[in-house]
Structure 1
Amino acid sequence: MLKSIDPLLGPDLLATLRAMGHGDDIVIADANFPAATTGRPLIRLDGVDAVRILDAVLSVMPLDTFTPDAAWRMEVVGDPTAEMPIFGEFRRVMAAREGESFRLASLERFAFYERARNAFAVVVSGERRLYGNIILKKGIVRPEA
């Protein structure tokens, strides 16, 4: 255990987040996501929902402020404007951790898979809600004034 570090952030996930550079992506994937086929390093957090993992990750990792978007969700197949309940939960956590300026962009299913194949790593959650996937782009930690 460490002070002020969410206990969900175990050694593998902490090391991954620390090793990522500015502009690298990390995927938080639901239980249905084809994570193993991405070819990216996998961190398994089975039994933990994606929203909880998102909150833990954003407690230590900033989102990128140099790009128009720093977080993406997968569009609902056949209805790209559909709003799944988990999307609102993702937005709530992002706003609480990073502020209201970040939007949750969307990617078509196969574009999402392609971006995941180029990510630094994939965190596999136990999330059972459909479309419980999110990609985050790491930002920089600014020096304190």
Structure 2
Amino acid sequence: MLKHKLIHPTINGILGRAGHHGKILIADGNYPVSSKLGPNAELVHLNLMPGLVTCDQVLEAILSAIPIEEINTMMYETTGPYALSEDPPVWDEYRKTLAGAGLDLKLEPIEKWAFYDAVATPDHILTVQTADQQRYANILLSIGVRMD
């Protein structure tokens, strides 16, 4: 019986095979997973219906299971139809989840097109597609080292 919050068997299997620096994308409902997937990444769909599940829920589960050393967000656009003038509200949710997990990690934004490039690397091992409807909810996690 697992003791951490993450109980999805496929995700647990992928994370169990992963190593230091492996990349995990938690994608919102608008992310183009069919065309923006690393060559070694496995895709798990958790998009049941709009808003269920969210990126933050997946983040909480993954943080309970493995060490994370870096978390990148997709930087929001400041012009155009999807523009924002400040950090998306979902980023505050991530900060609370990170603090609740006892992590002192800062969100590190990556420009939108560079974010897609960061996902398309050989060390991208997993994409979890959610149904999160919030703008700029995509997050890219880098696996750390177990210290205990």
Please confirm whether the aligned pair reaches a TM-score higher than 0.5, indicating the same fold: yes
TM-score w.r.t. the length of structure 2 is: 0.84
What is the CA deviation profile of residues 82-128 of structure 1, one whole-angstrom value per residue up to 9, with x for unaligned ones? 211000111111122142x2100000000111111122111101111
2:108 is matched with which residue? Answer: 105
Looking at structure 2, the residues matched to 3 and 20 of structure 1 have their Cα atoms a distance apart, in angstroms, of 18
TM-score w.r.t. the length of structure 1 is: 0.86
- Cα 1:122–1:36 shift into 2, 3 Å: same
The alpha-carbon deviation at position 142 of structure 1 amounts to 1.5
Identity %: 26
- The structure whose residues are more often helix, as a share, is 1
2:29 to 28, 31, 37: 31
Computed over aligned residues only, the root mean square deviation of the Cα atoms, in angstroms, reads: 1.7
Q: Which letter does structure 1 place at the counterpart of 2:118?
A: R
Whether the 8 Å CA contact 1:62–1:98 is kept in 2: the answer is no
Q: Runs of 5+ in structure 1 lacking a partner?
A: 65-69
Q: Does 1:16 align with 2:14?
A: yes
2:55 to 50, 58, 61: 50
Number of equivalent positions: 135
Whether the 8 Å CA contact 2:78–2:85 is kept in 1: the answer is no
